[in-house]
Amino acid sequence: MSFQNFNLHPSIMAGVEAAGYTTPTPIQMQAIPPIMQGRDIIGIAQTGTGKTAVFLLPAMHRLLQLPRGKIGALIISPTRELAEQTCEAIDELGKKTGLKSIAIYGGVGMDQQVRRLRSGVEIAVACPGRLLDHIWKGTIDLSHLDILVIDEADRMFDMGFLPDIKSILKCVMERRQTLLFSATMPADIRRLVKDTLRNPVTVQIGQSAPADTVSHAVYPVKQHLKTSLLIEFLRRNETDSVLVFTRTKRRADRVAMQLERAGFHVAQIHGDLAQNRRQAALDSFRSGSVKILVATDIAARGIDVLSISHVINYDMPDSVDAYTHRIGRTGRVEQKGIALTLVTHEDASLIRDIENVLNAPLERITLEGFNYLTPAPVVTGRPLPNRSNGRRPFRNGVASGRK
Ligand code: AMP
């Protein structure tokens, strides 16, 4: 793939050439096309991956079609250094576009910034605190905003800017494209993403991204054999801390109980538990006194345990993003993590979507010696509901794995 494939405006292509970029970096290849289509993006990438050009090139392309002298792109940066660096990249890549930018940060007088804003700029690169000063004083007009970029979101949150970011989001146009970049995806950011971005595409690059440090595998199995398979897996494999996700609170209850019965020491969290019980469960998991935690998605928000060795999706999550978020809890900070998902034939289409995002097939594993043919218990009384949800059957069938 080359930069020609992105159909960028010729004046931007001139900047790309002048900067000496010949081949797009992996994150540029993955993220620029959906951004050009107007999609919201979560870019899990560190500095050094070429992420600045990921948002600058499509943003500048868009701005060339919008009225001049109005701020159409706002980039929120954690530090003045990064804001300055981003403005330098705009100067370099946008040299031939005539687009004007401003770096906005505190510690310097407001007057000069106000004068520059009045003279008419198209791109503002701003640190949260000083940006809010301008918003409250009415010295910045964001009513023409088309693209919002939240850069290095995790650093911003580490620095305590979350309340400022939320205030800024309330003051900008709702109808806009939002791009969020972060090297890691802690719970606060996942929450912000959920509240702010619309149907975002996730792109992951770099060392701490789950794609690199997490090995993914799926275990095809029939619904009624999931717990037996899970128990067998836990018996056979060495695990450290294991986070098991279920779809519903009732299933979390049931799985936790079945694991206890099988001799495992288990904690569980879900929305029906009182806050003190949830906290106690989390504390015991964090301290390592309990090694297995069964959780629903919602209850598991905020779990950031660095030593989670295995994320086990007892039930398939609802979407690719939910999958990414769940497995993002393992493989953090260059530790190797394992994500495995028990899948039934109903999960086939979502598996394909995940494989598309990962750009790699998920390994199918069959547990040797496990009796996949054990029949479902006969249920008397009410007939079981038809669980078909329209997903296509699993490509390789239940017994198709490798190992
Ligand atoms: P960033 O991750 O955005 O801070 O970029 C890191 C460095 O890579 C910067 O010096 C960029 O100018 C440079 N860079 C970005 N994209 C490319 C590319 N496609 N080819 C060569 N250098 C690039």
**What is the per-residue DSSP string for 380-403?**
PSSPPP----SPPPPTT-TT--B-
* Token pair 């060392």 in the structure block, residue: 207
Q: Which two tokens stand for residue 77?
A: 């940066």
Give yes or no for a contact between 214 and 186, defined as CB atoms under 8 angstroms apart. Answer: no
Phi, psi (rounded to 5 degrees) for 151: -100, 145
Mutate to test the pocket of ligand 1, among 1, 32, 46, 52 (most ligand atoms within 8 A of CB): 52
Amino acid at 131: L
pLDDT in tens, the chain (403 residues): 899 999 999 999 999 999 989 889 888 999 999 999 999 999 988 776 789 999 999 999 999 999 999 999 999 998 888 899 899 999 999 999 999 999 999 988 999 999 999 999 999 999 999 999 999 999 999 999 999 999 999 888 878 899 999 999 999 878 899 999 998 787 888 889 988 999 999 998 753 334 456 788 899 999 999 999 999 999 999 888 899 999 888 999 999 999 999 999 999 988 777 777 887 888 888 888 999 999 987 666 556 555 678 989 999 987 776 787 677 666 544 456 788 999 999 898 888 888 877 777 888 999 999 999 999 887 655 544 444 433 333 333 332 333 3
> What's the gap in Å between 48 CA and the centre of ligand 1?
6
Mutate to test the pocket of ligand 1, among 8, 25, 179 (most ligand atoms within 8 A of CB): 25
Q: How far apart are CA 145 and CA 171, in angstroms?
A: 11
Give yes or no for a contact between 130 and 76, defined as CB atoms under 8 angstroms apart. Answer: no
Q: How far apart are CA 388 and CA 345, in angstroms?
A: 10
- Strand arrangement, sheet containing 177-182: 101-104, 123-126, 73-76, 147-150, 177-182, 41-44, 201-204
- Using left for φ > 0, alpha for ψ between -120 and 50, and beta otherwise, residue 191 falls in alpha
- Intrachain domains 3-204 and 214-364 with the same fold: yes
Q: Which atom of ligand 1 is nearest to the CA of 24?
A: 19
> What does the buried/exposed string (b/e) look like for 79-90 if buried means 16 or more CB atoms within 10 Å of the residue's CB?
ebebbebbbebb
Q: What angle do CA 44, 351, 392 make, to 5 degrees?
A: 145
The CA–CA distances, whole Å, from 102 to 75, 91, 135, 187, 346 equal 10, 10, 15, 31, 51
Q: How far apart are CA 221 and CA 314, in angstroms?
A: 11
* The predicted structure's pLDDT at residue 350: 86
Q: Is 207 helix (H, G, I), strand (E, B) or coil?
A: coil
* The predicted structure's pLDDT at residue 359: 73
Q: Is 304 helix (H, G, I), strand (E, B) or coil?
A: coil
Q: Which atom of ligand 1 is nearest to the CA of 47?
A: 2
Q: Which two tokens stand for residue 191?
A: 């929450």
Give yes or no for a contact between 184 and 193, defined as CB atoms under 8 angstroms apart. Answer: no
Q: Which atom of ligand 1 is nearest to the CA of 54?
A: 3
CB count within 10 Å of CB 221 equals: 23
* The predicted structure's pLDDT at residue 303: 61
Q: Which atom of ligand 1 is nearest to the CA of 3?
A: 19
What is the CATH code of the structural domain delimited by 214-364? 3.40.50.300
Phi, psi (rounded to 5 degrees) for 399: -95, 30
Most distant CA pair in the chain: distance in Å? 78
Amino acid at 309: S
Q: Which CATH class is domain 3-204?
A: alpha beta
Alpha helices in 94-147 (DSSP H): 110-119, 128-137
* The predicted structure's pLDDT at residue 266: 96
Q: How far apart are CA 299 and CA 96, in angstroms?
A: 50
- Counting every residue written for the chain, the total comes to 403
Question: Closest residue (by CA) to atom 22 of ligand 1?
Answer: 21
**How do the domains of the chain map onto residue ranges?**
3-204, 214-364
The CA–CA distances, whole Å, from 37 to 58, 62, 149, 377 equal 9, 10, 16, 50
* Token pair 């109005």 in the structure block, residue: 70
> What's the gap in Å between 298 CA and the centre of ligand 1?
37
CB count within 10 Å of CB 114 equals: 14
Question: Closest residue (by CA) to atom 13 of ligand 1?
Answer: 50
Q: Which two tokens stand for residue 66?
A: 């919008």
Q: How far apart are CA 164 and CA 194, in angstroms?
A: 17
Question: Closest residue (by CA) to atom 11 of ligand 1?
Answer: 50
Q: How far apart are CA 82 and CA 181, in angstroms?
A: 13
Comparing C-alpha atoms, which of 216, 215, 259, 225 is closest to residue 398? 225
